[in-house]
Every structure is written in C-alpha cells, then in structure tokens.
C-alpha cells in the first residue's frame, strides 16, 4: 500500500519537475547567441548558419539514389555501416528574401569542411528575419567610407546607436503622438456627427458647431503636419546610413541601418559579450513589441494584456463570489432551493471553458455590448465599440468561469469559523450582519484568499474562451495608455496564453517560432507564480493576525 | 439532614411516568426582588421536550447557581434567558420569561436590544481574534458607541472589575488570543460586563480552567455580586456551594428544588436533592 502511494507521488513529482525542467531549459537557452558555422558540402555548395538541432535517422538505398554524385558516394559509406544511422542537422540560414528558406537540413555525410569564419555576422532585421553574411562596405549618403570588414564594423558600431534611437523616436511618434492627434480629430468628427443625428444637417446648432469645429480641425491639422515633418526628417537622416553585406553564396545585399535591430560577429564574442547579447534579447522580449508576425521581438503587449485581464477578473469575481457564498451559508434558509443553487454553482466548474467563450460572445458582446453601443456610442456605429470582444468582456467571462472556485472556497472558510465565536458575538448584542462583518468575514479571510489565488491561477491560464471574447493576435493598442480615461475596457488585447498558441501553431516560420513558444511559456509560468506568491504572502499575514495561538 | 417526606421520594418515579411535578421553592425566595422570572417555561428541540413548566424567580443582585446532572436542561434554560436558542433551527418554546417584569418572548421584542442588556460567559472562553481593547469594547461598538473617551473608560473599568487590569495594562493592543486560558476567560467576563448588563449569565465558566484560575474567577464573582445579578450553571457542586446565594436543582428538564444555598446543601427539602448533592446519583 505504501509503495502504491509512494509510486503515485513519485510519478506526480516527475511529471511536474519534468514539465518545469523542460520549459525552463528550453526557455532559458533560447536567447544565448550561438556560433555561426560555415559548411562546405561535397558538391561544392556552401552554407552559413546557426545549428539549432540535430536528428538521427535510418538511411536507406532509396534516399541515396536521388543525391548528386559526390554526396552519394559518401552516403554509401554510411549505408555500408552495420547500423546505417545518418545524422542531419537543422541550420538557421536566414536570408529569406534571397534564398526563400529560413532553415536548411544538412546531412553530416554531405559535409566535407566545417569551420567558423572570423567575420561571420548575425543580423536581426525588422523585416524578412535574420541575415547571415560578411561585412563588405559601409555607405554614407551613397558614398563608400569603409571597405574592409574591420573598418565596416567600426563604422557600424559608431552609427547604429544613434540610428536606433531615431527609430525608437519614430516608432513613438507614429504610435502615440500621431495616434493622439488622430484621436482628437476623430473626437471632433464624432461630435459633429452626433449633432447631425440629433439636430439634423439643416439646424442652426449644426452650422455653428461646424464652424467652431472647423477651427479646431485646422489647429489639429497643423499639429499633424508638424509631426509629419518631424517624422520625415528622422527618416531622411536614418536613410543616409547603409551597409553592404555578402552572403555565403557571394551575393551582395544592401541593408539600411534602420532595418537592423541587432548585429554581432558571432564567432568573435567572448563570454561577456555573449551575455550582453543574451540580456539584451531578454530585455527586448519582456519590454518590446512583437515583430515578424509574433515570431520575433517582444511580448510586452501580451504581458500587459494578461496582467490587466487577470486583475479585472479578480476584481469582479472575488466580491461576487464572497457575497454569493455569504448568502448561501449565512442567510439562506436551508431547503431544496438552496441545495439546487449550490449544485448549479458546483456544476459550473465542470462546463468546458470554450462554452463560456461562446456565452461571453453571445451575451456580453452581442447583447449587452450592442445595447451599450446603441445608447452611448450611437455615433460610432456601425463600428462596434462594446459590441465586440474586449478586455472587459473577457474579464467578465473568465470571472464567470472561476466563480465556483471562489464560492466553494469561501463557503468552506465560513463554515470553519467556530460557532463559539459567533455565539459570543450574538451574546454581546450584535446583529447578524455585524457578526458577519466584524467576526466571521475577517476570520474567514485566509480561506477567501485561497479561493482568490486559485481563481487567479485558473483564469490567467485559460485561453480557449479568450479567443472568442477579445484576445487577438496583434493588438493595435494597449488597453492602458496615457489618454483619458486611461483604462480602455472596450479594446482588444493580447494574452500570453493566446500568444503561445499563435506562435506555436499559426506561424509561417514555425521552426523559428518554436523556441519562442518555450520562452513565452516560461514567462507565463513566472508571472503566474509571482501573482500567486504575492497572494500567498498576503494570506500568511492574514493568518497570523486572525488565527493567533490556540490552546 | 431532614428526613424526606413520603411524597417527595416519589418525584422521580412521577417524572418517569410523565406526570407534572411541582417545584419545591423555599420560602426565603419570596422576600427577594426578581430580576428575571420564568413562568411555566417550556422548550422543545424538535420533538424533544427539554424544559417542562419551569417557574422560578431569579433574585436581583445575588448569585444563583443552577445544578443538576448532564442533560437536565440547565444550559438550555440559561440560553433561553437571552434568547440565544433562537439561533438554532427547529426549536419551539412555550410559557414566558420576564426581565424586570417585561416579557422577553412577547410580540415585537427586539432580540438584539434584549441581548445587550445581558452578558454571557461560555464554558470555553471565546475571545475574538482582535486586540484585548477591541474585545472588551465590542458590545459598545455594536451598539454604536464611538467616542474614544467613553470606550477607554469602559475598558479600564471592566478590566479592573475582572481583575485583569494589572496584568495587561500595557498590552491592550495585543492580540487577545495570546493570553492564557484563565486570562482569556476573565477577558470574556470583562467583555460581558462592559455593557453594564442587568444580568450576567455564566455557563460553566470554570470547567476548562485549572484550580488557581477557577479560584480567581470565583473571587471575581464575589466582587461582582451586588452590582450585577449572576446566574451560573455549574457541574461542580462544591463551586455552587462556595459561590452562590441561591441554588436551583434541575432534573430531566424540571426544576425540582430551589432555595438558599446553605439549606439546599445541608437541609434540602427533597430526598432527590439530598441524593444529588451528596453524590448518590448524577
């Protein structure tokens, strides 16, 4: 019997440790910069790339038949071995705009020479993925100012910092400043439209509003032009700098410096240089926006979306759950109705989460949201404001999903308050509500916190319902920004869980995306763990205050 | 010991047969002003008839002990006085109880207000998970009292009356759960008298305490006597003998005999009482 229990426990531990270990190992090593290998094959072709994984497979006669002459000879040597196991490696060769592949499988037997060139450079680009090549020339305003790898690299290091800063400023201008101006313009237009709907095109109010709005519009358009001018200037300055690289096949490609996110000579890096690349990639991952259809760049919007949605959900589910449990436990007269309600709440926990998503879409978005739009946002129709998925509907849907957890945990906590304490309170002349508020609820608080922790952990990890009610692949804005009212509950949002699904299964470049799946999973686990630890700490402090010593 | 009369020795047999028996109330009680009076009070837990026609007058300013074997209804009677039994499901009562002449089971009686006029101390001390200060002022707070000087004064008075003040004067903000068992019970007594109740109801207050703590509490009761009317339910006959002015003996839900404590122990009118106090049964 003991062996059975011990065995079961061991299996559980192995699974948990195994899962966490796998995620941790894969996630942590993803961003470490690897060496760039130059490969020469038997038939003369050359490859330049980063090895990502390797695979052993059984070599058969049929496979050898299709190979070019020199390679086939070497392949036959492997076939002759007793085991005939061939090894092939997956190399990330990048240069998608030239070669049309991101990755290449290369068999070990076809390689005649492998080495690491001094000046193999890795370039992470804003578009088209990675570039691997050798620095050839550096251009400023179209003129060649350096033509040896050392000098080109020096020039690159000198100018890239400033170019990057300008790119950041451009990004901020376009995303936030431009966006703000546009928002103001849109506001004006909407107010005009509202007057048009309410009073009519011919009315006096419309005419005078239109006049005053024309002035506002002129001011806003002036601001717009100023911004556009600044953006033009920045772009113009950045376009001056370019670098010509040669690929392993001898082709030349010109890369504008503003297109380069990060570049490094992979085979020249010492440990601390590699560490610096590693930290910079992690920093970008956590604080940056995604690029390349979510397979590169950062997950910052997904982090923000996940945290905001989880907090909103908790804000809703805890009060409702506690009040429901209070009523069920303290105020309702026992009977068939109360039992029925309790059974219904418990069964809610067994409903598949996607069904919650469908309910959320149907009820919250299409019924509630559409009604809100009709009453408050009439002038924006037919574009829905609340009548579509958004962070508020997603939070409410998940609150419903996690409600049973909170209700059950709270009921247990309330039941655990000793009757002697309640009696003592009543004997002092307290009413039922005073007893609940002053004695029962505080004493039950640690148990309620447990319910809160469980609800938060469950809600933060659910993905299926979110896909229907507001999580999107790429959100144009964060649900929180500097424009009043600062929290925009109607906006779509990105979510780490959804991001994992999207990156893992919906990317075109699935090999490149695979390591991102692990890093995002690692990040999601860390964030949920952090939220849980915070809640557990709060619960421990409460326990100490309310339990005290009991003899 | 007075020789039992022939009639009295059949009381237990009569009870077992289901007949109504009268309470043997000593004449000395007639001279006392009652603070609480029960009139033919009956109580049922579901179908279990727990109290049968209990009629007694509890004197003002005195200590009245209720003794009897387990299950005789002592605690039920005590809890009926402050209507704590109302909290239970499926209970019923008949007859009436008067507090200073006013019916407490009448129509329109505010139970919360009633309970504020009584203080109760339970068998197992039940301090709230708050500071000592907050525990003592709890009855005042639920009554709506917020003025700090009033609360401070009540705390000092109550803790002095319950002989706890010297021990914890500097620790009023500490969690009450950190006190020892005896101190916790004295804190509960302080809490019970904080609202200056008319009656102090004590349900076996010392049964969970060691002899030293018990004697402290008994001393306390002597001092509270006069200012407060105390009703104490106890298993411990020696305690009843030491502490109380009047003793009521209950058996199987009926009040058998009720009189001044010395008489009840040395000169009971009924043989059943004599048998019980000398330990021959119960």
Domain ranges of chain B: 26-110+201-282, 118-196
Residue A348, both tokens: 């809610």
Q: Kindly report the CATH class assigned to B118-196.
A: alpha beta
Least CB-CB distance to B195: which of A425, A429, A443?
A429
Q: A301-546 adopts what CATH topology?
A: MetI-like fold (1.10.3720)
Find the closest chain B residue to A436 by CA distance.
B142
pLDDT at B280 over 90: no
Find the closest chain A residue to B200 by CA distance.
A427
Residues of B in contact with A543 (CB under 8 A): none
Calculated CA dihedral for residues A311, A316, A321, A326, nearest 10 degrees: 120
Residues of A in contact with B89 (CB under 8 A): 334
Bridge partner residues of B93 (DSSP): B43
Q: Is A432 on the interface with B (CB under 8 A)?
A: no
Say what the pLDDT of residue A296 is: 76
- C-alpha–C-alpha distance, residues A274 and A261, integer Å: 16
User: Does residue A503 contact residue A297 with C-beta atoms inside 8 Å?
Assistant: no
Say what the pLDDT of residue B108 is: 87
Least CB-CB distance to B122: which of A424, A430, A439?
A424
**Strand, coil or helix: B32:** coil
Q: Residue A549 — very low, low, confident or very high, per pLDDT cuts 50/70/90?
A: very low
User: Does residue B134 contact residue B152 with C-beta atoms inside 8 Å?
Assistant: no
User: Does residue B117 contact residue B198 with C-beta atoms inside 8 Å?
Assistant: yes
Q: Pick the range with the lowest mean pLDDT from A143-147, A187-191, B62-66, B242-246.
A: A187-191
Tens-place pLDDT, residues B53-71:
999 999 999 999 999 988 8
Q: Determine, for residues A423 and B113 on separate chains, whether the beta-carbon distance falls below 8 Å.
A: no
Find the closest chain A residue to B127 by CA distance.
A421
Residue A396, both tokens: 């409410």
Cα A372 to the center of its chain, rounded Å: 30
Region A17-23: what's the mean pLDDT?
Answer: 93
pLDDT at A551 over 70: no
Least CB-CB distance to A421: which of B84, B115, B126?
B126
Say what the pLDDT of residue B119 is: 92
Tens-place pLDDT, residues B177-227:
889 888 999 999 999 999 889 899 999 998 888 888 888 889 888 988 888
pLDDT at A160 over 80: yes
Q: Is A111 exposed, middle or buried (0-12, 13-18, 19+ CB in 10 A)?
A: middle
Q: Residue A426 — very low, low, confident or very high, per pLDDT cuts 50/70/90?
A: very high
Residues of A in contact with B87 (CB under 8 A): 422-423, 426
Tens-place pLDDT, residues A190-222:
888 888 877 777 777 778 777 878 888 888 888
Q: Determine, for residues B128 and A547 on separate chains, whether the beta-carbon distance falls below 8 Å.
A: no
Question: What percent of chain A has pLDDT above 90?
Answer: 33
Question: What percent of chain B has pLDDT above 70?
Answer: 96
Bridge partner residues of A146 (DSSP): A138
First to last CA, chain A: 35
For residue A380, what is the DSSP state? G
Q: In terms of Cα–Cα distance, which of A252, A236, A234, A235 is closest to A244? A: A252
For residue A438, what is the DSSP state? I
Q: Long-range contacts made by residues A17-25, C-beta under 8 angstroms, separation at least 24? A: A20/A525, A23/A518, A23/A521, A23/A522, A23/A525, A24/A522
Residues of A in contact with B141 (CB under 8 A): 438
Residues of B in contact with A547 (CB under 8 A): 129, 177
Q: Is A551 on the interface with B (CB under 8 A)?
A: yes
- C-alpha–C-alpha distance, residues B185 and B197, integer Å: 18
pLDDT at A54 over 60: yes
Q: In terms of Cα–Cα distance, which of B224, B189, B237, B249 is closest to B56? A: B249
Q: Is A421 on the interface with B (CB under 8 A)?
A: yes
ipTM of the complex: 0.91
Dihedrals phi, psi of B184, to nearest 5 degrees:
-65, -40
Say what the pLDDT of residue B4 is: 46
Least CB-CB distance to A426: which of B87, B141, B195?
B87
Q: A427, A431, A542, A547: best mutation site toward chain B, by most B Cβ within 10 Å?
A: A427
Least CB-CB distance to A423: which of B118, B122, B195?
B122
Bridge partner residues of A53 (DSSP): A90
- C-alpha–C-alpha distance, residues A328 and A335, integer Å: 11
Q: Residue B1 — very low, low, confident or very high, per pLDDT cuts 50/70/90?
A: very low
Q: In terms of Cα–Cα distance, which of A343, A302, A331, A161 is closest to A241? A: A161
Tens-place pLDDT, residues A493-502:
999 999 988 8
pTM of the model: 0.78
User: Residue A458 CB: number of other CB atoms within 10 A?
Assistant: 18
**A95 in the Ramachandran plot: left (φ > 0), alpha (ψ -120 to 50) or beta?**
left
pLDDT at B2 over 60: no
pLDDT at A5 over 60: yes
Find the closest chain B residue to A547 by CA distance.
B129
Task: Give me the numbers of helices (H) and strands (E) for chain B, helices first please.
Answer: 11, 11
pLDDT at A155 over 50: yes
Summary mean pLDDT of chain B:
88
Residue A79, both tokens: 């076939």
How far, CA to CA in Å, does B193 sit from each of B148, B213, B223? 18, 19, 13
Least CB-CB distance to A429: which of B89, B143, B188?
B143
Q: In terms of Cα–Cα distance, which of A27, A19, A23 is closest to A516? A: A27
Question: What percent of chain B has pLDDT above 90?
Answer: 52
Sign of the torsion angle spanned by Cα atoms A41, A47, A49, A52: negative
Q: Is A335 on the interface with B (CB under 8 A)?
A: no
pLDDT at B87 over 90: no
Dihedrals phi, psi of B281, to nearest 5 degrees:
-150, 170
pLDDT at A167 over 60: yes
Helical axes A510-547 vs A271-287, angle rounded to 10°: 70
Q: In terms of Cα–Cα distance, which of A96, A90, A95, A98 is closest to A37? A: A90
pLDDT at B176 over 80: yes
- C-alpha–C-alpha distance, residues B264 and A236, integer Å: 111
Residue A282 exposure: Cα atoms within 13 Å on the Cβ side? 15
Chain B residues touching chain A at CB-CB below 8 Å: 82, 84, 87, 89, 112-113, 115-120, 122, 124, 126, 128-129, 138-139, 141-143, 175-178, 181, 188, 191-192, 195
Q: Residue B6 — very low, low, confident or very high, per pLDDT cuts 50/70/90?
A: very low
Q: Residue A71 — very low, low, confident or very high, per pLDDT cuts 50/70/90?
A: confident
**Strand, coil or helix: A506:** coil
Summary mean pLDDT of chain A:
87
Residues ≥6 apart with Cβ < 8 Å to B34: B57, B58, B59, B60, B98
Q: A334, A335, A429: best mutation site toward chain B, by most B Cβ within 10 Å?
A: A429
Say what the pLDDT of residue B45 is: 93
Q: Is A550 on the interface with B (CB under 8 A)?
A: yes
Say what the pLDDT of residue A547 is: 66
Q: Is A423 on the interface with B (CB under 8 A)?
A: yes
pLDDT at A224 over 60: yes
**CATH topology match: B26-110+201-282 vs B118-196:** yes
Q: Determine, for residues B177 and A548 on separate chains, whether the beta-carbon distance falls below 8 Å.
A: yes
For residue A34, what is the DSSP state? P
Find the closest chain B residue to A424 by CA distance.
B126
Least CB-CB distance to B142: which of A422, A430, A545?
A430
Q: Determine, for residues B87 and A421 on separate chains, whether the beta-carbon distance falls below 8 Å.
A: no
- C-alpha–C-alpha distance, residues A427 and B135, integer Å: 13
Q: Is A338 on the interface with B (CB under 8 A)?
A: no
Q: A335, A413, A416, A424: best mutation site toward chain B, by most B Cβ within 10 Å?
A: A424
Q: Is A430 on the interface with B (CB under 8 A)?
A: yes
Q: In terms of Cα–Cα distance, which of B138, B121, B115, B73 is closest to B230? A: B121
Say what the pLDDT of residue B42 is: 93
* CB contact residues (below 8 A), chain A span 433-472, against chain B: 434, 438-439, 442-443
Calculated CA dihedral for residues A74, A76, A77, A81, nearest 10 degrees: 150
Q: In terms of Cα–Cα distance, which of A103, A95, A111, A115 is closest to A247? A: A95
Say what the pLDDT of residue A548 is: 55
Q: Is A546 on the interface with B (CB under 8 A)?
A: yes
**Strand order of the sheet with strand B254-260?**
B24-25, B254-260, B246-251, B63-67, B229-233, B199-203, B118-121
Q: Pick the range with the lowest mean pLDDT from A207-211, A239-243, B211-215, B231-235.
A: A207-211
Buried b / exposed e along A361-380 (16+ C-beta atoms within 10 A): beebbeebbbeebeeebeee
Assigned superfamily of B26-110+201-282: P-loop containing nucleotide triphosphate hydrolases (3.40.50.300)
Tokens 């390679």 belong to residue: A71
Q: Determine, for residues B128 and A439 on separate chains, whether the beta-carbon distance falls below 8 Å.
A: yes
């Amino acid at each position: 019997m003991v062996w059975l229990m011990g065995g079961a426990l061991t299996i559980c531990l192995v699974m948990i440790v195994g899962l966490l270990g796998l995620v941790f190992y894969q996630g942590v090593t993803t961003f470490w910069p690897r060496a760039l290998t130059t490969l020469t094959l038997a038939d003369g072709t050359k490859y330049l790339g980063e090895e990502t994984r390797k695979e052993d497979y059984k070599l058969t006669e049929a496979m050898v038949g299709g190979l070019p002459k020199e390679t086939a000879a070497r392949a036959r040597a492997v076939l002759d071995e007793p085991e005939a196991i061939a090894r092939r490696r997956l190399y990330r060769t990048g240069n998608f705009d030239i070669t049309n592949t991101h990755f290449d499988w290369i068999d070990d037997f076809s390689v005649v020479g492998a080495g690491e060139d001094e000046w193999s450079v890795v370039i992470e680009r804003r578009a088209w993925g990675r570039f691997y090549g050798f620095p050839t020339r550096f251009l400023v305003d179209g003129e060649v100012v350096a033509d040896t790898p050392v000098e080109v690299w020096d020039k690159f290091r000198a100018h890239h910092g400033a170019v990057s800063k300008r790119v950041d400023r451009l990004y901020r201008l376009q995303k936030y400043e431009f966006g703000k101006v546009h928002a103001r313009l849109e506001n004006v237009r909407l107010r005009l439209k509202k007057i048009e709907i309410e009073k009519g095109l011919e009315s006096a109010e419309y005419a005078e509003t239109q006049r005053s709005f024309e002035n506002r519009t002129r001011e806003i358009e002036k601001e717009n032009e100023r911004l556009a001018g600044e953006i033009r200037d920045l772009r113009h300055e950045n376009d001056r700098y370019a670098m010509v690289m040669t690929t392993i096949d001898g082709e030349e490609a010109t890369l504008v410096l503003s297109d380069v996110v990060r570049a490094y000579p992979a085979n020249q890096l010492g440990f601390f240089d590699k560490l610096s690349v590693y930290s910079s990639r992690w920093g970008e991952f956590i604080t940056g926006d995604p690029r390349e259809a979510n397979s590169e760049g950062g997950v910052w919007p997904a982090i923000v979306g996940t945290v905001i949605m989880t907090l909103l959900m908790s804000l809703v589910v805890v009060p409702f759950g506690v009040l429901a449990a209070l009523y069920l436990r303290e105020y309702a007269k026992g009977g068939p109705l109360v039992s029925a309600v309790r059974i219904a709440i418990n069964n809610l926990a067994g409903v598949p989460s996607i069904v919650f998503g469908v309910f959320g879409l149907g009820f919250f978005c299409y019924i509630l949201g559409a009604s809100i739009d009709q009453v408050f946002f009439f002038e924006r129709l037919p574009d829905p404001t609340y009548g579509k998925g958004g962070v508020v509907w997603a939070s409410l849907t998940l609150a419903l999903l996690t409600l049973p957890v909170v209700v059950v945990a709270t009921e247990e906590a309330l039941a655990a308050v000793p009757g002697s304490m309640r009696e003592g309170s009543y004997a002092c002349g307290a009413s039922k509500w005073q007893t609940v508020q002053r004695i029962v609820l505080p004493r039950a608080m640690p148990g309620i916190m447990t319910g809160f922790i469980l609800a938060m952990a469950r809600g933060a990890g659910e993905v299926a319902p979110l896909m229907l009610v507001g999580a999107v692949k790429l959100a144009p804005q964060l649900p929180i920004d500097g424009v009043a009212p600062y929290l925009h509950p109607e906006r779509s949002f990105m979510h780490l869980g959804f991001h994992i699904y999207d990156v893992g299964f919906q990317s075109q470049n699935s090999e490149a995306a695979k390591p991102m799946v692990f890093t995002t999973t690692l990040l999601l686990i860390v964030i949920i763990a952090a939220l849980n630890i915070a809640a557990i700490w709060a619960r421990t402090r409460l326990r100490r205050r309310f339990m005290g010593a009991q003899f | 010991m007075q020789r039992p009369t022939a009639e009295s020795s059949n009381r237990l047999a009569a009870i077992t047969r289901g007949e109504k028996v009268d309470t043997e109330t000593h004449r000395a009680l007639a001279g006392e002003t009652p603070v609480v009076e029960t009139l033919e009070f009956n109580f049922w837990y579901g179908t279990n008839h727990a109290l049968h026609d209990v009629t007694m007058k509890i004197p003002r300013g005195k200590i009245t002990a209720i003794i009897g074997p387990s299950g005789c209804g002592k605690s039920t009677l005590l809890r009926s006085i402050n209507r704590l039994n109302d909290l239970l499901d499926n209970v019923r009562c008949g007859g009436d109880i008067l507090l200073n002449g006013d019916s407490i089971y009448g129509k329109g009686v505010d139970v919360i207000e009633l309970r504020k006029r009584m203080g109760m101390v339970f068998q197992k001390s039940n301090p709230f998970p708050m500071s000592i200060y907050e525990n003592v002022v709890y009855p005042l707070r639920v009554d709506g009292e917020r003025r700090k000087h009033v609360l401070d004064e009540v705390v000092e008075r109550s803790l002095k009356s319950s002989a706890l003040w010297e021990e914890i004067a500097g620790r009023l903000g500490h969690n009450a759960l950190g006190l020892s068992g005896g101190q916790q019970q004295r804190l509960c007594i302080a809490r019970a008298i904080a609202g200056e109740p008319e009656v102090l109801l004590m349900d076996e207050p010392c049964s969970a305490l060691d002899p030293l703590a018990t004697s402290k509490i008994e001393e306390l009761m002597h001092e509270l006597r006069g200012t407060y009317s105390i009703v104490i339910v106890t298993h411990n006959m020696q305690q009843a003998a030491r502490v109380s002015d009047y003793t009521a003996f209950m058996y199987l839900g009926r009040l058998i005999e009720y009189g001044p404590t010395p008489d009840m122990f040395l000169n009971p009118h009924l043989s059943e009482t004599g048998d019980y106090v000398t330990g021959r049964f119960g």
